[in-house]
Amino acid sequence: MAVEVRVPTILRDYTSGERVVLASGASVATVIDDLDVNYPGIAERLLDDSGLRRFVNVYLNDEDVRVLDGLDTVVADNDSITILPAVAGG
């Protein structure tokens, strides 16, 4: 499945400045794996040992994948994925 992935400013160092890149995979997890093949290091910024990092939001189309099936969320052709770091602090 080929999907568009929108990359936030802070991760564009990995994508040579590109805002939107293409990746493939049948789930959010496999899309992230595929991203990491082409943009090594990017997965580390998104995932930790427990899964998606607490302050990284990943959206499939209009939905936060946390309210779907998380990293197991199924991805279809022409879906779009948006990565946004949380805006948060203390």
Partner 1 sequence: MLVIRADLVDAMVAHARADHPDEACGVITGPDGSDRPERFVPMINAARSPTFYEFDSGDLLRLYRDMDSRDEVPVVVYHSHTATEAYPSRTDVSYASEPNAHYVLVSTRESGRGDGPYELRSFRIVDGVVTEEEIDVTPA
Instruction: Give residues with Cβ within 8 angstroms of 72, minimum separation 6.
Output: 27, 28, 29
87 binds partner 1 (CB under 8 A): yes
List 8, 30, 33, 43, residue binding partner 1 (CB under 8 A): 8
**How far apart are alpha carbons 32 and 44 in whole angstroms?**
10
Q: Considering beta carbons, is residue 24 or 66 the nearer one to partner 1?
A: 66
Of positions 55, 72, 74, 78, contacts partner 1 by CB under 8 A: 55
Within 8 A by CB and 6+ apart from 12, the residues are 18, 19
Binding site for partner 1 (CB under 8 A): 8-10, 55, 57, 59, 62, 64, 66, 82, 84-90
